[in-house]
Amino acid sequence: MKHRWHRFLLLFFLVGLLVACDRRKPEYIIGVSQCSNDEWRVQMNKEILREALFYPGVEVKIRQAQDDNQRQINDIKEFIHRKVNLIIVAPNEAGAIAPVLEEAYEAGIPVVLVDRKIHSDKYTAYVGADNYEIGKKVGEYIVNALNGEGQVVEITGLKASTPAVERHRGMMEALKVAPGIHIVASADAGWFQDKARMVVDTILKRHSRIDLIFAQNDRMAIGAYQEALRQGREKNIVFIGVDAVAGKGYGVESVAKGELNATFIYPTGGDKVMQVAMSILKGKKYERENYLSTAAVNKDNARIMQMQTEHIFSLDHKIELLHSRLDDYFLRYSAQKMFLYACVVILVLVGFLLFFLVRAFWMKNRMNAELSAQKEQLECQRDQLQEQRDQLIELSRQLEEATHAKLAFFTSVSHDFRTPLTLIADPINQLLEEKHLSERDREMLEIVHRNVSILLRLITQILDFQKYECGKLDLRLSEFNVFEGVKEWTKAFHVLAFRKHIHFEVTAEGNVADYMMVADAEKMERIIYNLLSNAFKFTPEKGEVKVELSRKEQDLQSLLCLKVSDTGIGMSEEHAQHVFERFYQIDMQHTGSGLGLALVEAFTHLHHGQVKVATEEGKGTCFWVELPMRQEGEVKKVIEKNESLKNLQEGAVLDAGTETLHQLPKSVSVDGKIEKEVVLVIDDNQDVRDYIKMLLQEKYTVIEAVNGQEGVRQAMKYVPDVIICDVMMPVMDGIECCRRLKNELQTSHIPVMMLTAYTMDEQRIQGYDSGADSYLAKPFSAKLLLSRIRNLIDNRKRLKFKEDTVTSVQKQPLGEIDKGFVEKLKMLIDEKMGDSNLSVEDLGADLGLGRVQLYRKTKALTGYSPNELLRIARLKKAASLLASTEKTVAEITYEVGFSSPSYFTRCYKDYFGESPTDFLKRRDGKG
Ligand code: FRU
């Protein structure tokens, strides 16, 4: 908006400037320098000014020097300095004024001389009378008036001015015709009346007879007359002057009155001067010398001249009047113009203002409309959000209800389970004490014992959690040294750490004695079990698990800080937020009941403490439990040990160690040395692996892996005949493992059977999408497992090369990778069979497989070892050569890559049932 007002101001300023410009600066300035200030010059100045009126844009500045050379020089210098466009000058003395006028002329300022001249040629034009001519006319008049005889006195003007010199010269020239006329006296009166009176006084006194006095201007002639009148001699003398200025007391009136006998018109010519000046300024044509004409005025024409002059004066007056009126009009006109401009500016401003007002109004309306539309939209969104929020609240309520229902269900089921489980556990324990058990039976019973323990722990945890939820879980306080306690409680995990090759340590900051606390020791113990179970479960071999104890003072309270950290697989930020929620399952890699950590939080809260978690995927996890060292409440001296605590500890350790291999698989030999087919079992649960192994080990060689990653490694190394793979596993789940197996050349042909506790279709689809060949849901029966494995191996065998090794295979439903492998193998054999030194290693190198991998893959896909395939191909080629060429048996032996004819003959007979020679005989009809 501010911006727009700037535009307004600018517009206003421009209009103002336009109006101001109308008072134009003069186009030309003309300087007029007069040497004197008598009536003759007053008239000339008036004429100049009047004429200037006809030239708009011209300003005239007039200076007069009062007959002083220096003053006139200064006036002219000022004109030069002010850079006037032209100088009009009547120089006082011809010599003295010349230099300054030359300076002006050379500075490019045109110089117009009037009335008088200078001793220089450097002027632009001259306007004035021809003074020599005037002098001549005066001379002629004298001759005439004196009839050629008489005594004459001459009163001259300023001798250094040109009119004085010229007029004298003209007069003398004319007097040459009358030798009887004598100039008896000549005196310089400098153009002044008073001075003329003085000199005439002297002359009259000296000369008794004087017939005529010629004064070079009227002023001096009148002075001479006045002096003669005073001396009473005026009647005998003829008085002649020059100028013929009209008006009271001047030359023409003196002639009319009979005081002067004659005067000669010396025209002022101000109008002409102005015309010439303007022609020069406008670059028009002009004359350099402009002479104005003269005439004699005597008693006869003086009156008429006076009348004419008066008439001229009145006309001049009218012109001036007209001009002043014009000036008035012009003033009024410009005032009106100003007013008009102001009106226009105001109108424009009002226009703009109106425009902006309308625009602002329109914009306001539009914005209002937009805002109300937005408001409506927002309201609509708000309603939707509210609806969604209500739905969410309802959903979370339902979820809460469902969770409660789940917990309630689990609780009631757990109650029901506990008794039968205890009844299973106890007899099993007793059975295990039996000395005469077979190893297989003992192993089976141990599996049952371990899993009953895990189930009992799970049930205890569910029941405890339910109690906590209902507020029925109390603290049973006792005083104990928590550091000693932790050391005791973690003993069982040291065994696990040793087995899993995990570095495990328990440390405390400061003095051991400082860790005496009042708390529920059993719950503290279980906090430790659960945190450690979790840490060990997700920490791979060679990792690190630490329990660190410290104390801190906060809000006048002593706090125990328990830190359990691991270098395990960690989890994402998002999962970390939910990790304490009951039944929370992260993903297939983070298996568990989802109760352990929820109980840790519950027990910590019971102790008025808090638990925090920090984790980074791939780097590890760290839990902090902070709780007051001294809990308020009744402290019991003796607390009976809860029977289930032993089970809880055992369960926690078992749960954490599920993925550990009991024993590493014995290396599996290859290249025909394996009698039994090889089965790879990939499962993180040791008991599952043990159980499957027990079921299979009679008929198959069983190798194991604890997770997908390990599984892929084992499969690449041993190329088993079939793979059994769990879906939910840490590090790499079963789906990803199967996808990788099916994409590797070494393992792509191996049938994979997915094994999972879930029977959901989606998991099945995921399993098949990843390339799984079969699917078995847990719990499975031993019979079903065995028959599925048998089927998978047999089906694979059915796909093997039949009699015609390579051609038939293309019709079989093999995967892309396996098809490509078989074709490449066939091409390689065809190409290289002539080389008797060709080895299985060479073929493997060409196919990107090791010796074992090539052997097991080829055997699995074709039923033959690579060597057998090579031999069959060679024999077939030999047979076709025998049938179609005249080559000898020896020649063919070497051509197809056998090293000796006798070995060739033996092989040939084994394969085709007759020796090559028998075949040739039969072919040639000799047999
Ligand atoms: C006026 C005047 C005239 C005379 C002329 C000569 O100043 O004295 O009377 O004719 O100058 O330049």
- For residue 245, give the ligand 1 atom closest to its CA: 9
User: Is the pLDDT assigned to residue 457 strictly greater than 50?
Assistant: yes
Q: Candidates 217, 218, 252, 254: which one to mutate for ligand 1, based on the most atoms within 8 Å of Cβ?
A: 217
Q: Which residue has the higher pLDDT, 217 or 733?
A: 217
Task: With beta carbons less than 8 A apart as the criterion, state whether 640 and 596 touch.
Answer: no
Looking at the chain, the whole-number percentage of residues with pLDDT higher than 70 is 90
661 CA distance to ligand 1 centroid (A)? 145
Region for residue 36 given its phi and psi (left: phi exceeds 0; alpha: psi -120 to 50; beta: otherwise): beta
Ligand 1: atom nearest CA of 243 is 10
Mean of all residue pLDDT scores within the chain: 86
Distance (Å) from CA 143 to ligand 1 centroid: 24
Q: Residue 217 C-alpha to ligand 1 middle, in angstroms? A: 6
* 38 C-beta closer than 6 A to ligand 1: yes
Residue 610 has pLDDT above 60, yes or no: yes
Other beta carbons within 10 Å of 912:
16
- Using CA atoms, how far residue 698 sits from 694, 695, 786, 927, in Å, is 8, 7, 11, 52
The pLDDT-based confidence of 763 (bands split at 50, 70, 90) is: low
**pLDDT of res. 540:** 82
Which numbered atom of ligand 1 lies nearest the CA of 162?
12
Query: Nearest 5 degrees, angle CA 344-CA 348-CA 352?
Result: 170
- Domains and their CATH numbers in the chain: 131-268+285-301 (3.40.50.2300), 475-655 (3.30.565.10), 677-797 (3.40.50.2300), 816-923 (1.10.10.60)
Q: Which atom of ligand 1 lies at the shortest distance from residue 38's CA?
A: 7
Which of 31-45, 244-258, 614-628, 788-802 has the least mean pLDDT?
Answer: 788-802
Atom of ligand 1 nearest to the CA of 217: 9
| Single-letter amino acid code for the residue at 745 | L
Band the pLDDT of 571: cuts 50, 70, 90. Answer: confident
Pocket test for ligand 1, best of 44, 117, 266, 294 (most atoms within 8 A of CB): 266
> What is the largest distance, in Å, between two alpha-carbon atoms of the chain?
201
| For residue 877, pLDDT beyond 80 | yes
- Is the shortest distance between the CB of 161 and ligand 1 below 6 Å? yes
Using the predicted structure, report yes or no on whether residue 644 has a pLDDT greater than 70: no
Tokens of 444: 């089976």
Q: What share of the chain is helix, strand, coil (3-state, %, to 5)?
A: 55, 15, 30
Q: Is 242 in the pocket of ligand 1 (CB under 6 A)?
A: yes
Please give the Cα distance from 571 to 684 (Å, whole number): 19
pLDDT at residue 805 in the model: 45
Cα(259) to ligand 1 centroid in Å equals 20
Q: Residue 327 pLDDT > 90, yes or no?
A: no
Please spell the DSSP secondary structure of 548-614, one letter per residue: EEEEEEETTEEEEEEEEEE-S----HHHHHHTTSTT----TTS-S-S-HHHHHHHHHHHTT-EEEEE
Structure confidence at residue 592 as a pLDDT band (50, 70, 90): low
Atom of ligand 1 nearest to the CA of 115: 12
Q: Going by CA atoms, what residue is nearest to atom 9 of ligand 1?
A: 217
Residue 122 has pLDDT above 50, yes or no: yes
At 803, the pLDDT band (50, 70, 90 cuts) reads very low
Per-residue confidence band for 591, with pLDDT thresholds at 50, 70 and 90: low
User: Three-state DSSP class for 709?
Assistant: helix
**Would you say the CB of residue 157 lies under 6 angstroms from ligand 1?**
yes
For residue 221, give the nearest of 254, 178, 246 by alpha carbon: 254
Cβ of 40 less than 6 Å from ligand 1: yes
Query: Two tokens at 534?
Result: 């979790």
| Residue 237 pLDDT greater than 50, yes or no | yes
The DSSP bridge pattern shows strands 111-114 and 86-89 to be: parallel
Q: Is the CB of 116 under 6 A from ligand 1?
A: yes
Location of structure tokens 């069983």: 702
Q: Are 761 and 768 in contact (CB under 8 A)?
A: no
The CA angle 199-205-210, to the nearest 5 degrees, is: 85
Rounded distance between C-alpha atoms, residue 785 and residue 693, angstroms: 11
* Residue whose CA lies nearest to ligand 1 atom number 4: 217
Ligand 1 pocket residue status of 264, Cβ below 6 Å: no
Q: Which residue has the least CA distance to atom 8 on ligand 1? A: 191
Distance 237 CA to ligand 1 centre (A): 23
Q: Using CA atoms, how far apart are residues 562 and 612, in angstroms rounded to an integer?
A: 11
β-partners of residue 635 are 477
* pLDDT band of 661, cuts 50, 70, 90: very low
pLDDT at 665: 43
> 97 CA to middle of ligand 1, Å?
17
Task: Tell me the CA–centroid distance for residue 328 and ligand 1, in Å.
Answer: 37
Residues 308 and 455: their CA atoms lie apart, in Å, by 152
**Stronger pLDDT, 9 or 745, i.e. the higher one:** 745
More reliable by pLDDT, 104 or 813? 104
* Tokens 């790879």 sit on residue: 680
The alpha helices in 147-192, defined as continuous H runs, are 162-175
Q: How confident is the model at residue 812 (pLDDT cuts 50, 70, 90)?
A: very low
878-916 tens-digit pLDDT: 888 888 888 888 888 888 888 888 888 888 888 888 888
Q: How far apart are CA 650 and CA 456, in angstroms?
A: 10
pLDDT above 60 for 315? yes
pLDDT digits 0-9 by tens, 699-709? 888 999 988 88
Distance (angstroms) between ligand 1 centre and the Cα of 70 equals: 19
> What does 415-479 look like in DSSP terms, one character per residue?
HHHHHHHHHHHHHHHHHHH-S---HHHHHHHHHHHHHHHHHHHHHHHHHHHHHHHTT-----BEE
Nearest CA to ligand 1 atom 3: 217
pLDDT over 80 at 660, yes or no: no
Whether ligand 1 lies within 6 angstroms of the CB of 465 is answered as no
Can you tell me the mean pLDDT for 584-605? 74
Q: 876 near 806, Cβ under 8 Å?
A: no
- Among 201-215, 569-583, 663-677, the range scoring the smallest mean pLDDT is 663-677
Is the CB of 489 inside a 6 Å radius of any atom of ligand 1? no
Rounded CA separation 188/165 (Å):
11
Asked whether residue 14 carries a pLDDT value surpassing 80, the answer given is no
**In this structure, which residue's CA is closest to atom 11 in ligand 1?**
191
pLDDT over 50 (residue 666): no
Higher pLDDT pick, 918 / 802: 918
Q: What is the pLDDT of residue 207?
A: 95
Arithmetic mean of pLDDT, 179-186: 96
Spatial strand order of the sheet with 620-628 comes to 503-508, 544-554, 557-566, 620-628, 610-616
- Residue 680 C-alpha to ligand 1 middle, in angstroms? 146
191 Cα: distance to centroid of ligand 1 (angstroms): 6
Cβ partners under 8 Å of residue 616, min gap 6: 570
Q: Does the beta carbon of 805 sit less than 6 angstroms from any atom of ligand 1?
A: no
pLDDT confidence band for 216 (50 / 70 / 90): very high
Q: Please tell me if the CB atom of residue 36 comes closer than 6 angstroms to any atom of ligand 1.
A: yes
Least confident of 37-41, 509-513, 672-676, 861-865: 672-676
Residues 512 and 483: beta-carbon distance below 8 Å: yes
Tell whether the model's pLDDT for residue 698 goes beyond 80. yes
pTM across the whole model? 0.43
Q: How far is the CA of 448 from the centre of ligand 1 (A)?
A: 156
What span, in angstroms and rounded, lies between the C-alpha atoms of 836 and 834?
A: 6
Confidence of residue 764 (pLDDT cuts 50, 70, 90): low
Q: Which two tokens stand for residue 148?
A: 């050629």
Q: Of the ranges 133-147, 419-433, 457-471, 820-834, which is most confident?
A: 133-147
Rounded Cα gap, residues 666 and 714, in angstroms:
12
Q: Checking DSSP bridges between strand 262-265 and strand 296-298, what pairing results, if any?
A: antiparallel
Q: What is the mean pLDDT of residues 860-869?
A: 82
What CA–CA distance (Å, rounded) separates 312 from 623? 126
Contact 677, 700 (CB under 8 A): yes
Q: Positive or negative CA dihedral for 729, 731, 735, 737? A: negative
CA distance 183 to 151: 6
User: For 74-111, what is each residue's pLDDT tens digit?
Assistant: 999 999 999 999 999 999 999 999 999 999 999 999 99
